[in-house]
Chain A
Amino acid sequence: GESVGLHLPTLSVQEGDNSIINCAYSNSASDYFIWYKQESGKGPQFIIDIRSNMDKRQGQRVTVLLNKTVKHLSLQIAATQPGDSAVYFCAENARPSGTYKYIFGTGTRLKVLA
């Protein structure tokens, strides 16, 4: 079926540590993936994206890894800061039943402990 799921609904990390947020997707034909950050009361904010012809992409303090063999996506945040506290969503560009759309995961809440 169509689903993008996350393994951990809540992740607590110490400030300064690295965070890893995981995501499983089910559509093997999906060719584009995005990670979003959503803070309370705000809309999702684009963090980083990756296309299916890549397995790794780095941004500022963030890295996304894509493993197409097991349909797994991860977001790594280096030196996690209090401002990183938010809910993180992965999204895949899918086309189930001929409809093009983004399918979002349920989200992982990241809590940064001082």
Chain B
Amino acid sequence: KAGVTQTPRYLIKTRGQQVTLSCSPISGHRSVSWYQQTPGQGLQFLFEYFSETQRNKGNFPGRFSGRQFSNSRSEMNVSTLELGDSALYLCASSLEWLGASSDTQYFGPGTRLTVL
């Protein structure tokens, strides 16, 4: 079974631009969560999507948004990029949503975003 895939793997943008990242979960998984990983803050939860609905949300500004499609693929968008948005963005998939059961999350390789 194929794992979680993320595209693109690397991205360079300038301040003020917007970016869209894509994540395809493991086949059969309906929950997709997004995380931001930086050396200073570690792994921080952004939000979770399940059945095309945002189920849970972390403490990030509204510039960070996402959506999920009927095939469970998810996209994350960051608008008006700031230097501090440079990070590794990871998505993780699981069978059920985070509140339904204690379900293992499996991660993709991440997208390395650099904001200049």
Name A residues whose Cβ lies closer than 8 Å to a Cβ of B: 31-32, 34, 36, 41-46, 49, 51, 89, 91, 93, 95, 99-107
Cβ–Cβ < 8 Å partners of B116 in chain A: none
Q: Mark B32-65, 1 if CB is under 8 A from A, else 0.
A: 0100000000110100100000011110000000
Identify which of residues 63-116 in chain B touch chain A, using a CB-to-CB cut-off of 8 Å: 90, 92, 97-99, 102, 104-110
Q: Which residues of A contact B58 (CB under 8 A)?
A: 99, 101
* Pairwise interchain contact A102-B105, C-beta atoms closer than 8 A: yes
Bound Cα distance from A38 to B56, whole angstroms = 24
CB neighbours (8 Å) of B104 from chain A are 34, 46, 49
Total number of B residues with any Cβ neighbor in A under 8 Å: 24
Q: Are A100 and B90 in contact (CB under 8 A)?
A: no
A/B pair count, beta carbons within 8 Å: 56
Chain A residues near B99: list those with CB within 8 A.
Answer: 95, 100
Cβ-closest chain B residue relative to A36: B107
Contacts of A99 in B (CB 8 A): 56-58
Identify whether the interface residues of B are mostly helix, strand, loop, or mixed: strand
Complex Cα distance, B109 from A91, in Å, reads 18
Contact A101–B56 (Cβ < 8 Å)? yes
The answer to whether B109 and A104 have CB atoms under 8 Å apart is: no
User: What's the Cα separation between A36 and B90 when bound, in Å?
Assistant: 14
**Residue in contact with A100 in the complex, picked from B4, B43, B98, CB distance below 8 Å:** B98
* Residue contact B90 to A101, C-beta cutoff 8 Å: no
Query: Chain B contacts of A42 at CB under 8 A?
Result: 109-110
Q: Give the residue among B43, B98, B109 with the most A Cβ atoms within 10 A.
A: B43
